[in-house]
Structures are given as structure tokens and as C-alpha cells.
Chain A
Amino acid sequence: MRVKLWGTRGSVPSPGPETIRYGGNTSCVQVTLSDGSMLALDAGTGIRSLGLALQQEATRLHILLTHLHLDHIQGLVFFAPAFRPQTEIVIWGPASPEASLRDRIARYISAPLSPVEVRELPCDVSFRHCPESEWEIGPARIRAASVTHRGPTLGYRVTDSGNSLTYIPDHEPGLGTEIDELDEDWISGFELARDTSLLIHDGQYADQEYPDHVGWGHSAISHSIAFANRVGAERTLLFHHDPLHSDDFLDALDREARDRWVALGHDPNTIEVAAERSEYDLPVGAPAATA
């Protein structure tokens, strides 16, 4: 399994000279499975670049949406494969009692917000609510579970050839509670991330910023680190960077995270702040390549 980060930013795209190293595109992660088939986790603006990088012959793609906040779906109408008639796209996402996944996404892919409607997309696109039980895509087993965020929000675990990726980009497991004091079964996202090979997890706020953002659905890095420690993640990427965080700020956050990780008895090279276009091979080793 190979993982490539096409968008690591949270909330809103943040391009500019101050974010050039960690990136300004919003959430999108490409997962290439052991048989060569591909998943995209979320469809923030990073998926535009992913679409441009895909070969024309790619015909069947699965997009797994954690939730429908704009920073996780904004790139859908700029995803080149969606405009090829030979492409089949299956979009998975959280169920809601309010409306179907298709109807909720169509609120964005419709006038006046979009120049095209869902029904006008040339590709064969279908929408599926994630089941509560595990299911298979190609050689991978997929599990989705609701996690603490604002509105119906999922985290995902993708398991292929004995390796697992857990993706929980928007997550506030420390809301109103102390992660270190909870039994495992009361920690949001725990089963998704237990002993995972690679954890991609919300790390939006520095600890000093969190008190002004309690209940916004995101983690302070102390929460992210406590969560990674409790679940026993082999490697952790802090993700969904606040749009106000510059590269220099994220460098400092990266150092702080590694120091805290070491204080918990871990290898400092197994936690880092996620950078756009970084790639990782599973089983966990050094990054395969970093653009």
C-alpha cells in the first residue's frame, strides 16, 4: 500500500509563500492498494492535483469522504477523471437522516455554487452510504466509524496485506474529557486506529490555541499525541493544518510533537507534521519520496 498526501490543510485552501513547504491544499490522500487500484480519502482541493496526475486509463476510482464540510469536497468539481466518460467513480460517505449522500453533495455541485450539476458529470458516478460493518474494495478491507467532530463525520481504516492506514482528519477526541483517563472503548476513534501502521490524524491546533476553539471539532496536538499513544500507532502524521499556520509555525509544531513523543518513550522519527505531496510505503519505513 502506498499513501500520498495531496492536501494537508484544514478549513480553507491557504496558498502562498508562507505555506509552500507544508502545502495549502485541503484534505486529500491517495491510497494505492497492493493490486494497483486506487482510493482517494476526501476530496478537498488536493484532489485536483491528484486528478491531473492520474493516468487517462484509470477507469474505476473510489472516493471515501469523511464528511461534507467544504474543505473535504471542494475539489470534486475540479477532479479531471470526473469529466471522462470512461471513468467510474464511487463516492462513499456518512449517512444522514436528513438527506441522501447524493442530495447533500448536490447542494455544492449545483447552481449557483457550481457551473455543473451532478447529473451533468460525464463519468459514471454513484453514491453509497458507508455501512457499519467492514467491506471490501479490491484487496483492501475498509472500515468506517463515526468520530467526534461537528456533524456526521467518519474516520476510515484501510487494511491491505496486513498493513493498515487510519485516517481521521477531523477529530476532537479530547472534547470534554481526558484521553489518558478513559477506558479504550470510550475513546472516539480508538477501534479504527488500534495498532495501526500509519495514523493520519487531526493536529490543527497548538495547545495554546485550543482553549479558544473548544468544540470546533479539532484537536490540540497534545490530544493528537495522547490519542496516537493510546492506540499504539506505529507512525503518526499530524494533519489538517490550521490555515493560519505558516511553514515556520508548523516546523515549530513538528519539533514540539517529536519532543513530546520522545517523552512518552517513542522514536522521534515516527511522528511528524504532514507535508503535501509526501509519500509513504506500508509497511512503515522511511518516506518513499518527498516532493
Chain B
Amino acid sequence: MADEVHRPGDGLAVCGLTVRFDGTAAVDDVSLTVPTGEVLAVLGPSGCGKSTLLRAVAGLEVPASGRVLYDGQDLSRVPTHRRGFALMFQDGQLFAHQTVARNVGYALRLRHVPRGQTDRRVDQLLELVGLAGYADRKPGTLSGGERQRVALARALAVEPRLLLLDEPLSALDRGLRERLAAELRGILERAGTSAVMVTHDQEEAFAVADRMAVMRDGRIVQTGTVSEVWEHPHDAWTARFLGYATVLSGEAALRLRALLDPGAGWTEVALRRSALRVEAQGPLQALVVEARQTPELVRLELEVEGLGRLAGVAEPGSDVVVGERLRLRVDPERIAPVPSA
């Protein structure tokens, strides 16, 4: 895919990029593309090299080999500040000595945009990120979420052709993260900005991105649209990393295949927590080891005949007790076959 000749107007392309620290490759032969207007999430555990990749795209790390192109132009010799990107750090990196408004207007002032125009744009951006009225505050007085939103507004101010987001929401608490993820998506859509976001949080990636690249040990192991990746994880590791609760292999996997789709060829399968559902007519039999009520459903820990210990769910309000034997159905939407290695 990345080896194809890149055509102008295609947005970002990273070709065979390698970054080494003291001989070790932190980013190892990575290739990917981000067409204009698209949001790509690079998903990977901490230490997998995703931040280094982002910094290399920004021009903050010098690659050992490979190229970064934008609209077909090789950026190797273009310094960070001429790339027309904007980078937003995990902790915002607001300039502590400047007010919120001056932070947001920073890039505009660099470009000598007339003052009135800058002020209007700043107001507009603060409105966009939901911080109207915060203009004269100092960063030190803001909450984490507010700071991230200021950082986002600052990054958007000059309408960068590409927005680089380094774990933009990771430092925030869960509720705020979910809300901001949705907002971020909306803001990016409205601004029409291409973006690369690196994160270790799959939910964040699902909520914000169009496409996803899974990264492990410096390499991209899988790319595709969010649903493609979700439905067809590349391997057991990816499946687990994406949030699948269990990956079955060997006998258990073959038994499940026989049950669901005897004609298929896969030998491994990933299951979500809700893949097994209590149903009186279900084909599988199980012993309830543990049961826990949650507002939406009942979470179960089951000893499933022929498959081993697995998670399952029952309708809310069902009267399941520990030690009870019951029958299960497999929800084909909530499993994903994993290609064998």
C-alpha cells in the first residue's frame, strides 16, 4: 500500500520510516497514509514507538531511514515549523506565562495576522472548544480538560493541514474523556482537519478516528477502517489489545467453529465479554461460577462445556444464581475469527 507511488493531493504518507535510539529501532520500517480530511488513530501500548512516530512526522525526530511526504512533497529537509502541522501534547504544553487567549492566538501572531482578526478567531475557537469567557485566564488556573481544550484550540488556530495529537485525552478522567472524545470528533469534522492521533486507549480511537493503525514494538501490525480492524483483528495479540476478552484456539476454537460456521477455515477466534448470552434454547451448556448485576446487564463468569472458563451475559433482571446450570447462545456479531499465524 505504502510502496505505491504517492500522488499529489493525497495528504500524509509515511514510507518505510525507521527511527533509532542508540541503535535500537523505536520506529521500525513504518508505512502509512492519511488522506486529506481523514482521522487516523495509531493505537498501541505504551512504549510501542507511537509517540516517536508522531514526533518524526512532526519533524522533531530525525529518521534513520524512510520518508515523510505531504501531498507528494518530501518533508525530510523541511523543519518542524515549516511543515504546516500542529502538534498537541498529552499534557497540552500550554505556555504558562501567557493567558488562554494569547496561547490560542500564538500561531496567528507568529504569522502577523492583524490583531482584530486574531481576536475574532480566538473567540471563535474558544467558542468551538466550549471555553468562551476563558480568554484572560492563566493556564495554571484551568482544569486538565480545560487545558486540553485550550491546547486543541491553539492547534486549530492556523488551520493546520495536519493535526498531530499525542494521547490528547489520556490524562483526563473517564467521563470527561468520553465526552471530549466525542467533542473532538465533532470539532475535527467541522474544521475538516486531517489528523493523526496516537493513543493506547481503543475506545478513544473508536470514538475519534476514521481509520486505525495498530502498532506493536515499533511496527504497524494492522491498518484499516475502524470497523475493519475491529471485526478482523490481525492476530490474537491485536484482538486482546482491542479489548476482546478471550481468544480461543485449538480444540475449543474448532468446537465453536463447528457450532457456528462449519464451513469456515479459521482455527482461532476472539470473543467479547458479551459474546455468550443466556438463552434457554442455546446450543451450549454452562455452570455459573460468578454473577454480578450491572445497570445494563448481568455479567457472568461461566464454566462452558467443551470451551472452558469464559465470560457471558444475561438480560438485566434475570434471576441467575451461582451454581446454576443454564444454556447459552453465541452472538456471531460479537466474535471475530483471527487469521492463523
Do A and B truly interact? no
Name B's A-contacting residues (CB within 8 A).
none
